[in-house]
A and B are shown apart, each in its own frame.
Chain A
Amino acid sequence: MTPIIVILIYLGLLLALGVFSSRFFRGTSADYFVASRSIGPFLLLMSVFGTTMTGFALVGSSAKTYNLGIGVYGLMASYSGLLHSACFFLIGIKLWAFGKKYGYVTQCQYFRDRFESSALGYVLFPILVVLIIPYLLVGLIAAGSAIKGLTSPVIKPDGTVVRPGMFPELFEATNGAIPPWLTGLVIATIVLIYVFLGGVRSTAWANTFQTIVFMITGVVAFTLIANALGGPAAASEAVLERNGESMAREGKISTLHFFSYAFIPLSVGMFPHLFQHWLTAKSAKAFRLTVIAHPIFIMLVWVPCVLIGVWALGVPKMDGTPANAVLGKMVAVLVAQPIVTGILFAGILAAIMSSLDSQFMCMSTMFTNDVVVHAKGQDHFTDKQLLWLGRSFVIAIVAVTYAISLFKLPINVFDLGVWCFSGFGAMFPIAVAGVYWKRATKAGVIAALIATAALWLGLIGYDLFVFKEAHPKEEFLLAGMMPAAALFATCLITLILVSLATKAPDDKTIAKFFPKAIAK
């Protein structure tokens, strides 16, 4: 019970922070959606890092390591450290410049202007929303699994009850564990409240607070778990003895499969909420800290999580644990201090919520600006009406996502996150073309978007409802590579072929987006 009380106190603090930061809300739609371009380097780093390090990074990485071994760090974390900053450097800063020069607030606004096409926004918007939904689901499922792991009974293989469920009378159906539907509801409601109150400013402050919380608690969790296992050396030796193949990549993942994960981090080039974060930077200099610190911050979170995931394989009590529950159960079983356990779980929830808030905020902004205002015109609505339109859409998205989370999907958090990133990463050629290729046309971009989205829907459907039924622990590959490779190739080839076969953009547009200072 004590850990749950600690978690509730944390959630209360988060709400209080959201209320406090909303007092700085200036009441305008510009401030709600873009915090009036006043967010500096430290808040930007915390915000970007907090958004990208999600339930996927904490719950997902340990879950995937439990199945696949230590190679998980190399496939995601170290690639991300190299490629995320490359994307920020190559594309992010230029997009910031366009945003500042021409006043863009959303990704759709930029692409519509760049490719001279109003229709492009109506094609891009639903695709972005559909791709974000798995990302939101990662958050809700990860939170539900973690809290369920914390509050579940611990039973030995011989049937001996080591620890009963935390609330046996309240939640009989789950043997005393808090059911995931309740955790999801609480998390979604709290995020909704502080996003509702203060928009981007609240999410930036909340992200900063939560990023600090989850980084500190991650290191603490790692230290306590390591100590409970007799020290890091003993923990690793135990795994070598029981499950040695998980300490290397041979037999677990092929070199081609490993290489093809390179397409996943390219997703930052098209993540709509990152576009918005780029737009909220005070100046380009605000990116510098992010570009340098991002690889280090990823390392500080992922190394402990991967070690916790692999060390679980050396602990007999953990045998048979569902992968998504590994992190929660390792903390619950090995950390014998209820207050510390509560703080550690608050850290896990912090990571999850710091991503959810940005997604909700981002989609609210896109819907309001790219669909409603674009269709009806700026003068059709008052500022207050725009704010309420944005808030209403947030509520609708939260409700839809929560409803989906109630279904038991045959996929773990890591793989669900990877599907989301694969979709965004596949569209990376469009982001690059926008900044570097004068010959890219609106027809090429629209065709590439539709082809990529159609293929993504087909492949994720096949994975979820056909492949995973027969191979629940295996990764779905195409020609030995991640599906992201095929999606990327589809987008790239379609973009090039259709662009070259259609009319080139207007000279005025080229001059606007390729001025001498940027056209290198």
Chain B
Amino acid sequence: MNNKAIWIIFVLLFFLHQDFWNWDNRGLVFGFLPVGLAYHAAFSLAAALLWASAVKWAWPSDVEAWADESNDEGEASA
């Protein structure tokens, strides 16, 4: 999985957040969790999985390396 794939999944999740098909659903999952709440709790887990994947496959190591180089620029000038 690469950087592009991560951000495609991000966009997909962003649109899946708008679960209009659950809007008037008063059903219960596991006997007590309203469907609208259960869906979004699962969404939170999906988001965590996405970010775990991003950390594993799309971590900006180059940014880290640049910051860790010796600093010749000195302190902030403003």
Chain A residues with a Cβ under 8 A of chain B: 70-71, 73-74, 77-79, 81-82, 85-86, 89, 93-94, 96-98, 100-104, 109-110, 112-113, 116-118, 121, 231-233, 235-236, 240, 244, 247-250, 255, 258-259, 262, 283-285, 288, 291-296, 298-299, 303, 306-307, 310, 374, 512, 515, 517-518
Contact = CB atoms under 8 A, between A and B. Distances in A.
A82 B13 contact: yes
A296 B63 contact: no
Interface residues of B, number: 50
Contacts of B69: 101
Contacts of A518: 62-63, 66
Contacts of B65: 517
B36 A74 contact: yes
A85 B9 CA distance: 14
Contact of A248 (B25, B40, B45): B25
B43 A78 contact: yes
Given A110-B76, A288-B59, A81 B43 contact: yes
Contact of A73 (B40, B45, B77): B40
A239 to B, nearest CB: 9
Given A103-B76, A236-B34, A284-B67, A303 B41 contact: yes
B63 A89 contact: no
A70 B52 contact: no
B57 interface: no
B5 interface: no
Contacts of B4: none
Nearest to A256: B18
B41 A73 contact: yes
A104 B31 contact: no
Nearest to A83: B14
Given A294-B48, A296-B44, 12 more contacts: A71-B36, A78-B44, A82-B10, A93-B60, A103-B74, A103-B75, A104-B76, A232-B31, A248-B35, A255-B20, A292-B52, A518-B66
B54 A94 contact: no
20 contacts: A73-B41, A77-B40, A79-B17, A81-B48, A93-B63, A96-B67, A103-B76, A109-B76, A109-B78, A112-B76, A233-B28, A233-B32, A248-B36, A249-B23, A255-B18, A283-B68, A295-B47, A299-B44, A306-B37, A310-B34
B44 A116 contact: no
Given A78-B43, A97-B64, A102-B76, A70 B10 contact: no
A266 B64 CA distance: 24
B16 to A, nearest CB: 10
A104 B37 CA distance: 41
Q: Classify the interface of chain A: helix, strand, loop or mixed.
A: helix
A291 B10 CA distance: 14
Contacts of A262: 14, 17
A247 B44 CA distance: 19
Given A295-B51, A296-B48, A259 B18 contact: yes
B19 to A, nearest CB: 8
B45 A295 contact: yes
A284 B37 CA distance: 34
Contacts of B34: 70, 236, 247-248, 310
B9 to A, nearest CB: 10
A413 to B, nearest CB: 20
Contacts of B45: 295-296, 299
B23 to A, nearest CB: 5
A298 B44 contact: yes
A250 B35 CA distance: 13
Contact of B40 (A78, A85, A250, A515): A78
B74 to A, nearest CB: 8
Given A77-B44, A113-B76, A288-B59, A248 B13 contact: no
Contacts of B18: 255, 258-259
Contacts of B17: 74, 78-79, 82, 262
Given A81-B43, A86-B10, A101 B67 contact: yes
Contacts of B73: 101-102, 512
A87 B65 CA distance: 20
A215 to B, nearest CB: 15
Contacts of B35: 248
- Closest 4 A-B residue pairs measured CB to CB? A112-B78, A232-B32, A250-B24, A517-B66
Contacts of A118: 78
B30 to A, nearest CB: 8
A428 B71 CA distance: 28
Contacts of A82: 10, 13-14, 17, 43, 47, 50
